Amino acid sequence: MAKNYGAVAALKNTSLSVLPGEVHALMGANGAGKSTLVKILTGAIRHDRGTILVRGKAHLVRSPADARRAGLVSVYQEPSLIPDLDVLANLRLTQTPVEPFRNWVRELGVPDLDMRDNARDVPLAIQRVLDLARALAIEPDVLLLDEMTAALPANLAERVLDVVKRQSRTGRSVIFISHRFVEISALCDRATVLRDGETVGVVDISPGVEERIVELMLGAKIEKARAAQRQATEASAHGEAGTRIAVRNLRVGTKLQDVSFDLKDGEVAGVVALEGQGQDELFAALAGSTKPSGGTIEVDGRQVRFSHPVDAVRAGIAYVPGDRSEALAMQQSVRENIALPFSAAFRNWGPIRMGQERATVQSAIERLQIDTRAQREVQRLSGGNQQKVTIARWIAVDARTILCFDPTRGIDVGTKQEIYKLLRQLAAQGKSVLFYTSELEEIQLACDRAIVIFGGKVVDILPVEIADEPALTRAAYGLPRDAKAAVGILAETASSEGARP
Amino acid sequence: MRMLAKFGLAAIAAGLFAGTAMAQGTYTIGVSNTVQGNGWREEMICAIKAQALASGKVAKLNIAHRNTDAAGQSEDIRNLISAKVNAIVVNPADPAGIQAALAEATAAGITVVAVDQAVTEPSAYIISNNQEQYAYLGAKWLFEQMGGKGNVVYMRGAAGASADSDRDKGFKKALAEFPDVKVAQETFTGWQQDQGKQQILDYIATGVPFDGIWTSGIDNVIVDALVESQATLVPVVGADNAGFVGQLNSVEGLKGAAVTNPGSIGGAGVTLALQILEGQKPAQQTVLVEPQLWENVTDEGKAKLKGAADPSLSPEWPVSISIPDWTTYTKEQIVACKGPGE
Amino acid sequence: MRFLRQHGWVAGLFALFVVLFILTKIIQPGYGAGDFGSLVRAVLPYAFVVAAQTVVVIAGGIDLSVASMMALTSVTAASMMAGASEEYALFVVPFVLALGFALGALNGILIVVTRVPDIVVTLATLFMLQGAALLVLGAPGGGAAEWLKNLIIGTVPLPGIPDGLTTWIPKALVLMVVLLCIVWIPLMRSRLGLSIYAIGSNQLAAFRSGVPVARTKILAYAIAGLFGAMGGLSLTMSTGIGAPIPGPYLLASVAAVVLGGVALGGGKGGLLGPIVAVFVLRLVRTDLTLLAIDPNVTAIVEGTIMVAVVMFGAFIVMRSRSS
């Protein structure tokens, strides 16, 4: 099976070939093109160039139904049962034979499924198992599993891996996407590694191969990152600073399980995580838009409980989302957008003091060097300038803590630099910044420390000196910090698998 | 909730029965009307209530009054049949569309009186203002004022209403007598004030000259529009609505005429229904009330207008709040708008 | 237990209808079979327009053009039948139904192709259809074949069943049940029916399950158009004319859909609930007329009942979730 894809260069030149009876891992850093490839293989989006061959025969895959006919069936990260139909109707919808489905469900460790229950009423973990059983029941040639075990409790996950393994023995193929090396080494035969939309290597899974995979995922970046290391002098200057926010054993939903860290005054702390490791929930909890299910958040030594984003704003915590359209009123002017939080949240419907507002806004614009030629409508600004506006509004209200969630996504390099500079300036003024980024090299460009989250937990906190891309990548995949000596890690991690909660 | 609703309705029912027990009279009269929130129709309802009270013969009024179509009115009429009323006074949404329901009412022994507009059901009695004459009188006066030539703006009522098509006949009849008068613009106001005003403002904005305006009763807002936009005050013909009559008396330089179209026809309908119930059937199925024209050009006309003006009424209400021989209530009664037992 | 959970809402509505019916009997002891026939005839156009709205809402959309669709199909039927022979109506009826289906499909195609939200597209078609209706008939008029009008008058004489019972089965009720079932039951048994629920419940999941989302949406609107045409025909049947200005059917359809337990977000509910809801709403109107309550109050009462029932339902659902 081979495929090329042009357009916005999400995929440039990617090929993936899977042998019969093989479990094949598909790997790559965030944004390498994994999800695009999966979408193409399952017919969710169309490719511009290239072909899909199943057992040597070319197939046109233009919809999920086409993919199914070609023998490609996938299980997605989110459950894809129709929530308002019962299980039986869901099977009828996809024309899945019921008896094999029932057998697979039992096999997968769910003995007491009531087929007349609405999918909505089935627990999330079980829904994923049902998704898998539904896929297995139609006996696909190629089964595509996207982060299948992510939301599963350990006993179910084990069963699932077991079933997948056996599936491959019947001569069918499995494409397995996972961030967990432990699972990959236990299950997969080979791995294809993607980087920047290209296939950079196909490796056999054998002990010690993780290092090779990490190298492939990063490519030449390893050397480059070392060169870009920032001087540590600036960072260490804040050693004596007070603690602004203390997070202890924070839990949010099922994704964020146990997170503790401190955020100091005058510090930029980076957060590093693969997609979906609980970072969204962490930021939402700190910004007051989600209620934590356990643990505590302290601000300036006092425990707080946010029930609404306004509470967080009152505590001096400002949230800058990655998706700028979430934060900005696109048709309004720059001035109005900057003035929005303090006229809305702090004045409580009272009259807006025009003169004062104008002065504050003007100083914020100047400090940020926002290009104001197009200030009548925010939507006409460039992405970088839009992002500056979202940050500026919080400077205007003098927020002491700024939560930046991937603020540089899709922004040109020059503006990125300005945003790093801005974050450093804010820190120098004693403000504290929590900065999640999906681009690992930004940690060393802007941060003092890196907090690495994996599987909903803080797995490491790295000082900036050693937080280069390879180290962060390793940590983000849950590998131990000094894993240079490849031999033995697998044995070590494999043995700890049973102890996983 | 269900229990609550039940008790609530039961309580309302109990209150109503207690109320009706005190009233005089024996008959129950049902009313069906399908335009809500229109001044003329509100006066019609109030006239029905006042006449029912003044007659002393009506125990209870059963009023189905909402905005709906012919199918909805049929539903209301059938509900009134279920309520076992003695007579139904109906202002039809459509002359033909409610024929089946009216026939059922007659079959159930109920006297049916259509007011304001005709119906096709032959068993129903009709008491109505003479709409053809209404339009003819006003249009003829207007064309005379225009000197028998020029452009007229023709602002009709609601498309398809029988009153509107009857008036159209009268208007066309007058138009035929004045071959040099041209219709510059024809619009349907739907008998809605805001709609009519917008239409004339739009027309003024086109800058096309016009020499007179004939309206189907949406009149005072038209004068307002002419004054506000400082357009030439051309002669305007309207109905005897209180606001328009007031304008004819007070607006400097306005020439115009009001043609009576009493909303109190509803009260006349009640009187006719009661007469039939007591055995005095009219000679013909259809009774027409002839309109009058009051203009502000001659002294005689001015005097009539002065006498008719009544600033205490809502501007949308016709000033002819009673019809001689047909209504017996007082002005206080119709303004109070209370029926028997209220 | 599951039956109650899945059909509890409809059962509750039906109980409400029975209570209202008993209440009607108390208010007006003479309320009988003929009056029930009147109720059914009043329900008829509402039932079809509600069915139209139900299909679309279950598919996750909303159709603001239903009332205009009724008006257009009604005037088309009335103007074609005016002065024509009785047999000609045999041709008119299927033609008008096909017209409704096609115009409904056009709604769906516009929504799918332009990707403009359905509320905007159907608002636009509301005006287009209304304008078209006025072109067909500038004022209420036209006619209807006698046999068509007679379809909803009287009762159905069924051999072997005592007269006392058949008087309670008006022709209009039979017609309504038959027409709704002819469309609804095969639909629910087909994959299309499942797909309609699926795209309303979760469009992405439906797409991934291999549901042709665009085609399903178009067909849902087309079926709504078909029901709308049935509603338009029923208007012509009951009035004998066609009226180009739509009656109060749009808001009534949304109200009955909500009251009938269909989630406005889509994916949930059935047809029985909204139909029973229409009966409830019409019977409330009857009771208010029988009680001779101030007409300006009746609208408030109707609205209050709706809010109260929906809130009560939401409360019950919340209670059963938390327990």
- Contacts of C304 by beta carbon, 8 Å cutoff, 6+ apart: none
Nearest CB among B62, B67, B96 relative to C289 is that of B62
CATH H-level superfamily of B131-259: Response regulator (3.40.50.2300)
Per-residue pLDDT at A110: 83
Tell me the average pLDDT across C34-55: 94
pLDDT tens, residue by residue, B273-286: 999 999 988 888 88
Nearest CB among A42, A80, A116 relative to C205 is that of A80
State how far residue C269 is from chain A, nearest Cα, in angstroms: 9
Range with the lowest mean pLDDT among A37-41, A261-265, B166-170, C6-10?
A: C6-10
Per-residue pLDDT at A9: 60
Instruction: Look at C267 and A84 and tell me if their CB atoms are within 8 Å.
Output: yes
| Residue B154 pLDDT level (bands cut at 50, 70, 90) | very high
Tell me the average pLDDT across A170-178: 86
Task: Check: CB of residue B257 under 8 Å from CB of residue B212.
Answer: no
State how far residue B133 is from chain C, nearest Cα, in angstroms: 22
Of A250-254, B80-84, C295-299, give the range with the top mean pLDDT: B80-84
Nearest CB among C2, C191, C197 relative to A82 is that of C197
Report the distance separating Cα B157 and Cα B196, nearest Å: 9
Tell me the average pLDDT across B40-60: 92
Instruction: Look at B2 and C16 and tell me if their CB atoms are within 8 Å.
Output: yes
- DSSP characters for A127-159? HHHHHHHHHHHT--SEEEEESTTTT--HHHHHH
What is the chain C residue with the closest CA to A92? C191
Same topology, domains B2-129+263-290+321-336 and B131-259? Answer is yes
State how far residue A81 is from chain C, nearest Cα, in angstroms: 6
Tell me the average pLDDT across B161-166: 82
pLDDT tens, residue by residue, A38-71: 888 888 877 777 788 888 888 888 888 888 888 8
Per-residue pLDDT at C173: 93
Instruction: Look at A42 and C208 and tell me if their CB atoms are within 8 Å.
Output: yes
HSE, side-chain direction, 13 A CA sphere, residue C312: 18
CA B178 centroid distance within chain: 28
What ipTM was predicted for this assembly?
0.85
Partner C contacted by B82 (CB < 8 A): yes
SS (HEC) of chain B = CHHHHHHHHHHHHHHHHHHHHHCCCCEEEEEEECCCCCHHHHHHHHHHHHHHHHHCCEEEEEEEECCCCHHHHHHHHHHHHHCCCCEEEECCCCCCCCHHHHHHHHHCCCEEEEECCCCCCCCCEEEEECHHHHHHHHHHHHHHHCCCCEEEEEEECCCCCHHHHHHHHHHHHHHHHCCCEEEEEEEECCCCHHHHHHHHHHHHHHCCCCCEEEECCCCHHHHHHHHHCCCCCCCEEEECEHHHHHHHHHCCCCCEEEECCCCCHHHHHHHHHHHHHCCCCCCCCEEEECCCEEECCCHHHHHHHHHHCCCCCCCCCECCCCCCCCCCCCHHHHHHCCCCCC
Nearest CB among C238, C246, C291 relative to B16 is that of C291
Q: What are phi and psi of A410, to 5 degrees?
A: 70, 30
- Contacts of A98 by beta carbon, 8 Å cutoff, 6+ apart: A88, A91, A115
pLDDT tens, residue by residue, C108-148: 999 999 989 999 999 999 999 999 998 998 778 888 999 99
Tell me the average pLDDT across C150-162: 81
Task: Check: CB of residue C279 under 8 Å from CB of residue C17.
Answer: yes
Task: Identify the residue among A69, A77, A81, A85 best suited for mutation to test binding to C, counting C beta carbons within 10 A and taking the highest.
Answer: A85
Of A74-83, A309-318, A329-338, B166-175, give the range with the top mean pLDDT: B166-175
Return mean pLDDT, chain C.
89
CA A479 centroid distance within chain: 17
Task: Identify the residue among C5, C202, C204, C262 best suited for mutation to test binding to A, counting A beta carbons within 10 A and taking the highest.
Answer: C202
Chains that touch A (3 or more CB pairs under 8 A): C
User: What residues form DSSP beta bridges with A75?
Assistant: A145
Query: Which B residues in the span 230-259 are in contact with C, Cβ-Cβ below 8 Å?
Result: none
Interface A-C: count of C-beta contacts within 8 A: 63
Using CB atoms within 10 Å of the CB of residue C69, give its burial: 0 to 12 exposed, 13 to 18 middle, 19+ buried: buried
Q: Which residues on chain C are in Cβ contact (under 8 Å) with A92?
A: 191, 194
| Residue C6 pLDDT level (bands cut at 50, 70, 90) | low
Boundaries of every domain in chain B? 2-129+263-290+321-336, 131-259
State how far residue C247 is from chain B, nearest Cα, in angstroms: 5
State how far residue A383 is from chain C, nearest Cα, in angstroms: 25
Nearest CB among C153, C241, C299 relative to B66 is that of C299
CATH H-level superfamily of B2-129+263-290+321-336: Response regulator (3.40.50.2300)
Look up residue C321 and give its two tokens: 């979730």
CA C120-C122-C125 angle, to 5 degrees, is 115
Partner A contacted by C166 (CB < 8 A): no
Tell me the average pLDDT across C194-223: 91
Nearest CB among C141, C243, C293 relative to B12 is that of C293
Report the distance separating Cα B321 and Cα B312, nearest Å: 12
A167 pLDDT higher than 60: yes
Per-residue pLDDT at B24: 60
Q: Which residues on chain C are in Cβ contact (under 8 Å) with B104?
A: 38
Q: Which residues on chain C are in Cβ contact (under 8 Å) with A76?
A: 208
pTM above 0.90, yes or no: no
Return mean pLDDT, chain B.
87
- Contacts of A112 by beta carbon, 8 Å cutoff, 6+ apart: none
Boundaries of every domain in chain A? 2-205, 225-316+400-481, 330-399
B13 pLDDT higher than 50: no
| Residue B20 pLDDT level (bands cut at 50, 70, 90) | very low
Per-residue pLDDT at C77: 96
The closest alpha carbon to B124, from B261, B278, B281, B328, belongs to: B281
Range with the lowest mean pLDDT among A201-215, A338-352, B138-152?
A: A338-352
Task: Check: CB of residue A113 under 8 Å from CB of residue A87.
Answer: yes
Range with the lowest mean pLDDT among A26-40, A61-75, B225-239, C279-293?
A: A26-40
CATH number 3.40.50.300 is the correct assignment for the domain at A2-205: yes
The domain defined by A225-316+400-481 folds into: Rossmann fold (3.40.50)
The share of chain B scoring above pLDDT 70, in percent, equals: 93
Partner C contacted by B275 (CB < 8 A): no
Partner B contacted by C308 (CB < 8 A): yes
Partner A contacted by C207 (CB < 8 A): yes
State how far residue C115 is from chain B, nearest Cα, in angstroms: 34
The share of chain A scoring above pLDDT 70, in percent, equals: 79
Instruction: Look at C45 and B71 and tell me if their CB atoms are within 8 Å.
Output: yes
Partner B contacted by C75 (CB < 8 A): no
A321 pLDDT higher than 90: no
Instruction: Look at B159 and C305 and tell me if their CB atoms are within 8 Å.
Output: no
Partner C contacted by A249 (CB < 8 A): no
pLDDT tens, residue by residue, A387-406: 777 777 777 777 888 888 88
CA C186 centroid distance within chain: 18
C310 pLDDT higher than 50: yes
Look up residue A415 and give its two tokens: 């503006």
Residue A22 gets the label, from left (phi > 0), alpha (psi -120 to 50) or beta, of beta
Per-residue pLDDT at C23: 93
Q: Higher model confidence: residue A135 or residue A147?
A: A135
pLDDT tens, residue by residue, B93-141: 888 889 999 999 999 999 999 998 888 999 999 998 889 999 999 999 9
pLDDT tens, residue by residue, C173-205: 999 999 999 999 999 889 899 999 999 988 888
Instruction: Look at C267 and A94 and tell me if their CB atoms are within 8 Å.
Output: no
Task: Check: CB of residue C44 under 8 Å from CB of residue C176.
Answer: yes
Task: Check: CB of residue B322 under 8 Å from CB of residue B267.
Answer: yes
Tell me the average pLDDT across C306-320: 77
Q: Which residues on chain A are in Cβ contact (under 8 Å) with C198?
A: 82, 85, 93
Instruction: Look at C208 and A80 and tell me if their CB atoms are within 8 Å.
Output: yes
Q: What is the DSSP letter of A331?
A: T
What is the chain C residue with the closest CA to A68? C210
